[in-house]
């Protein structure tokens, strides 16, 4: 479905934008552009539907469309569908775009390797597989043996792999499977020595990881829903359990349950040294409480570290000196602290890596070092610190891009990570934290020449004077005369940074737009997580209009600086980005020729 939506957007963009002969590259699709006339059908407006919000009257003339079971709504949908299909049928280069997209994304892709037990494990996708396949190798250059193929979970491809975790010795793999996109998961266990499946089945798991300890693992789930309420029922009383391998789920031990707060979520994680069980509880997508339990004793009780939900606390690792925690407590851009398990009160917290101007995105304890991933102007930088916070190394990166998926162990200096940019798919690097040397482990081969394009970052002024960064990509030597088809992407929400990556979901269309002489842009608008808590807060609640203003100002920048024109500009966003695109299209329809508010929440009042 995502791919189909992307093709529709690309067709609409190229159809709305005349090709003035500048050309692209060898893979350019040269369309025979022509105007396609459409007669948009009349849509009934019920002027009698008006809501009163505290004295403010708001008309809702299309309320009747909310009844998805009515014949009137069904006819309207069919008419819209017919109009859309007929429009795209009249575009002669539709199949050429589909074929080019398939060719672009048909390349071998790998994840960063993980060392577990005697093997390295790595995910691989042959190119167009729906899900990546897990392999193992005795050495980094050794032959790859398939271990788990999620594409075989079901005949129709509707069962997907979720979270997974290896036992400490690497002999067992526990993994979650999800059916038809549901958040409900079932945990299964595979014996990696024999290749067989164990009988253990753990059901009704939701919003949970898997964390091994000795002969079992911790996980979170809700009580079994009532008959017929699995999908529609309310989720309440999230609990943490411990499952022992070889036993039935009915025998699982309850580790944590809150009977007073039904809407709180709980997650448990064992530290790498198996010394502590970390418990995190939360009430929303931001802010969490933190507790720990000493697994080397028989105590069933958790020691509180933080019992409020005002700040975020994420465990980065632990050693004999304490637990290393990434937090925005007294540090909007985050810092790393060490908490003594003997004196966990805030008075005794030690600051190891202080807050910096750049956002500390994540931190890990690998090989007796602290690896810190920063966002500098919305792209990645990485540094290595001693356990006392002394900076020892800056990881050398090939340019403006994003680090993905650090992989390492607390007791090994071997570190893997993926690096990608807007024009380069993820390359896997191997780094030795002791020798400070690093090398390319795997680099994908793709039929897209990233070197033919320039990636630049500019700053533009929003309506209130705030300076907003934006990545712009186009073919080297492209003439900026306002005639270039341009695709602008944005999100702006939930403290999530929009990063420069080669992504076949979020930026699936970028390569084809670029190859056809177009421009692609990513605006790092407020509401996201690119610059810490203040940046996020400036795009929330009563400040939400800032998000829309920032995006509209990005469009105006591209137009004023001759990258494109309103007749040749398309905007795209999904989820919260769909809301963004819908709002901007409503407020400033004069700025864009094409808009795709994918899966957006578009009626915030209802």
pLDDT for 81 equals: 96
pLDDT for 38 equals: 86
- pLDDT tens profile 102-133: 999 999 999 999 999 999 999 999 998 999 99
Strand boundaries in 409-518, DSSP class E: 414-421, 424-432, 437-442, 453-461, 467-475, 486-489
- What would the mean pLDDT of 28-42 be, rounded to a whole number? 77
Tokens of 580: 């963004």
Structure confidence at residue 227 as a pLDDT band (50, 70, 90): confident
pLDDT for 18 equals: 46
Residues 6+ apart with CB under 8 A from 88: 8, 11, 94
- What would the mean pLDDT of 345-360 be, rounded to a whole number? 98
- Average pLDDT over the chain reads 94
Structure confidence at residue 32 as a pLDDT band (50, 70, 90): low
DSSP 524: -
Residues 6+ apart with CB under 8 A from 29: 14, 93, 96, 97, 100, 512, 515, 516
- The answer to whether 508 and 7 are in contact (CB under 8 A) is no
Helix (H) or strand (E) holding 407: strand 402-408
Kind of pairing between the strands at 519-523 and 486-489: parallel
- The answer to whether 281 and 258 are in contact (CB under 8 A) is yes
- The answer to whether 165 and 212 are in contact (CB under 8 A) is yes
CA distance 579 to 465: 23
Kind of pairing between the strands at 211-213 and 185-191: unpaired
CA distance 489 to 433: 37
pLDDT for 5 equals: 55
- What would the mean pLDDT of 226-238 be, rounded to a whole number? 86
- The answer to whether 217 and 205 are in contact (CB under 8 A) is no
Please check the confidence at residue 6 and state whether its pLDDT lies above 70: no
- Map tokens 């790498």 to a residue: 272
- The answer to whether 308 and 264 are in contact (CB under 8 A) is no
How many residues are recorded in the chain? 606
pLDDT for 334 equals: 97
pLDDT for 92 equals: 86
Residues 6+ apart with CB under 8 A from 104: 446, 447, 448, 511, 512
Tokens of 351: 């600051």
Please check the confidence at residue 135 and state whether its pLDDT lies above 50: yes
Tokens of 249: 């789920």
pLDDT for 240 equals: 99
Of the candidates 490, 493, 584, 603, the residue with the CA atom closest to the CA atom of residue 540: 493
- Map tokens 């956002």 to a residue: 359
Structure confidence at residue 11 as a pLDDT band (50, 70, 90): low
Please check the confidence at residue 26 and state whether its pLDDT lies above 80: no
- The answer to whether 160 and 178 are in contact (CB under 8 A) is yes
- pLDDT tens profile 239-280: 999 999 999 999 999 999 999 999 999 999 999 999 999 999
- The answer to whether 397 and 381 are in contact (CB under 8 A) is yes
- The answer to whether 499 and 489 are in contact (CB under 8 A) is no
pTM (predicted TM-score): 0.90
Helix (H) or strand (E) holding 570: strand 569-574
Of the candidates 354, 390, 394, the residue with the CA atom closest to the CA atom of residue 373: 394
Tokens of 138: 């005795």
pLDDT for 30 equals: 58
Residues 6+ apart with CB under 8 A from 141: none
Q: In this predicted model, which residue has the larger pLDDT, 555 or 298?
A: 555
Please check the confidence at residue 475 and state whether its pLDDT lies above 50: yes
Tokens of 23: 């050309």
Structure confidence at residue 386 as a pLDDT band (50, 70, 90): very high
Please check the confidence at residue 10 and state whether its pLDDT lies above 70: no
> DSSP string covering 112-170, please?
PPEEETTEEEEEEE-SS-SS-EEEEESSTTSPPEEEE-GGGS-SSS-EEEEEEEE-TTS
Tokens of 331: 């540090």
Kind of pairing between the strands at 569-574 and 594-598: parallel
pLDDT for 230 equals: 82
CA distance 520 to 505: 15
Fold of 2-36+91-103+449-598: Rossmann fold (3.40.50)
Of the candidates 413, 416, 475, the residue with the CA atom closest to the CA atom of residue 448: 475
- pLDDT tens profile 495-504: 999 999 998 8
% of the chain surpassing 90 pLDDT: 86
- pLDDT tens profile 444-474: 999 999 999 999 999 999 999 999 999 999 9
Neighbouring-strand partners of residue 205: 185, 221
Kind of pairing between the strands at 114-116 and 119-125: antiparallel
pLDDT for 29 equals: 78
DSSP 226: P
Q: How far is CA 11 from CA 3, 22, 27, 43, in A?
A: 12, 19, 16, 25
Of the listed ranges 187-201, 226-240, 286-300, 558-572, the one predicted with least confidence: 226-240
Of the candidates 398, 387, 338, the residue with the CA atom closest to the CA atom of residue 365: 387
Q: How far is CA 18 from CA 21, 69, 101, 452, in A?
A: 9, 41, 21, 22
Please check the confidence at residue 2 and state whether its pLDDT lies above 80: no
- pLDDT tens profile 148-186: 999 999 999 999 999 999 999 999 999 999 999 899 999
Please check the confidence at residue 202 and state whether its pLDDT lies above 60: yes
Q: How far is CA 264 from CA 235, 240, 259, 309, 313, in A?
A: 10, 12, 10, 11, 16
Domain range list for the chain? 2-36+91-103+449-598
Tokens of 64: 């009747």
Kind of pairing between the strands at 519-523 and 303-306: unpaired
Of the listed ranges 27-41, 176-190, 570-584, 592-606, the one predicted with least confidence: 27-41
- Map tokens 């709180």 to a residue: 264
Q: How far is CA 30 from CA 25, 348, 433, 482, 513, in A?
A: 10, 66, 49, 19, 12
């Amino acid at each position: 479905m995502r791919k189909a939506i992307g093709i529709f957007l690309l067709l609409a963009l190229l159809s709305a934008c005349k090709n003035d002969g500048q050309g692209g590259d060898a893979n350019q699709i040269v369309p025979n552009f022509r105007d396609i006339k459409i007669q948009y059908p009349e849509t009934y407006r019920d002027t009698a539907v008006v809501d009163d919000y505290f004295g403010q009257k708001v008309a809702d003339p299309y309320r009747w469309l909310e009844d998805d079971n009515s014949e009137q709504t069904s006819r309207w949908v069919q008419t819209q569908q017919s109009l859309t299909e007929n429009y795209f049928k009249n575009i002669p280069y539709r199949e050429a775009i589909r074929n080019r997209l398939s060719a672009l994304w048909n390349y071998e892709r790998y994840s960063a390797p993980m060392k577990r037990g005697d093997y390295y494990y790595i995910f691989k996708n042959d190119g167009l597989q729906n899900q990546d396949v897990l392999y193992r190798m005795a050495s980094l250059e050794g032959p790859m043996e398939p271990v788990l193929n999620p594409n075989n979970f079901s005949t129709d491809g509707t069962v997907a792999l979720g979270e997974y975790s290896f036992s400490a010795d690497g002999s067992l793999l526990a993994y979650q499977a999800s059916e038809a996109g549901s958040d409900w998961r079932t945990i299964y266990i595979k014996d990696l020595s024999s290749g067989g499946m164990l009988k253990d089945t753990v059901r009704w798991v939701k919003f949970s990881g898997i964390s091994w300890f000795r002969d079992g693992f911790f996980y979170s789930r809700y009580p079994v829903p009532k008959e017929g309420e699995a999908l529609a029922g309310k989720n309440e009383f999230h609990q943490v359990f411990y499952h022992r391998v070889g036993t039935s789920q009915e025998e699982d031990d309850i580790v944590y349950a809150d009977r007073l707060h039904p809407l709180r979520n709980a997650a448990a994680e064992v530290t790498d040294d198996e010394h502590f069980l970390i418990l995190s509880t939360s009430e929303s997508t931001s802010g969490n409480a933190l507790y720990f339990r000493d697994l080397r004793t028989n105590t069933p009780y958790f020691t509180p570290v933080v019992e409020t939900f005002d700040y975020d606390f994420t465990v980065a690792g632990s050693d004999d000196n304490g637990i290393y925690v990434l937090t925005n407590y007294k540090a909007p851009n985050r810092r790393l602290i060490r908490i003594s398990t003997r004196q966990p009160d805030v008075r005794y917290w030690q600051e190891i890596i202080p807050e910096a101007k750049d956002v500390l995105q994540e931190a890990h304890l690998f090989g007796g070092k602290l690896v810190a991933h920063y966002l500098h102007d919305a792209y990645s930088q990485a540094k290595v610190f001693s356990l006392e916070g002394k900076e020892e190394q800056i990881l050398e990166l090939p340019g403006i891009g994003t680090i993905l998926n650090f992989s390492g162990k607390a007791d090994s200096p071997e570190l893997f990570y993926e690096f990608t940019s807007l024009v380069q798919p993820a390359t896997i690097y191997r780094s030795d934290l002791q020798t400070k040397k690093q090398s390319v482990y795997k680099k994908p081969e793709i039929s897209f020449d990233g070197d033919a394009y320039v990636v630049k970052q500019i700053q533009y002024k929003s309506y209130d004077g705030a300076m907003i960064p934006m990545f712009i990509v186009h073919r080297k030597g492209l003439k900026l005369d306002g005639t270039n088809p341009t695709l602008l992407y944005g999100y702006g929400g939930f403290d999530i940074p929009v990063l420069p990556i080669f992504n076949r979901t979020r930026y699936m269309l970028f390569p084809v737009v670029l190859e056809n002489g177009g421009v692609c842009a990513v605006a790092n608008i407020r509401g996201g997580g690119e610059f810490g808590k203040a940046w996020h807060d400036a795009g929330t609640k009563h400040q939400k209009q800032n998000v829309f203003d920032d995006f509209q100002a990005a469009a105006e920048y591209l137009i004023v600086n001759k990258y494109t024109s309103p007749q040749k500009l398309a905007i795209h966003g999904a989820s919260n980005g769909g809301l963004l695109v819908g709002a901007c299209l409503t407020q400033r329809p004069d700025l864009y020729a094409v808009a795709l508010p994918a899966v957006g929440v578009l009626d915030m009042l209802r």
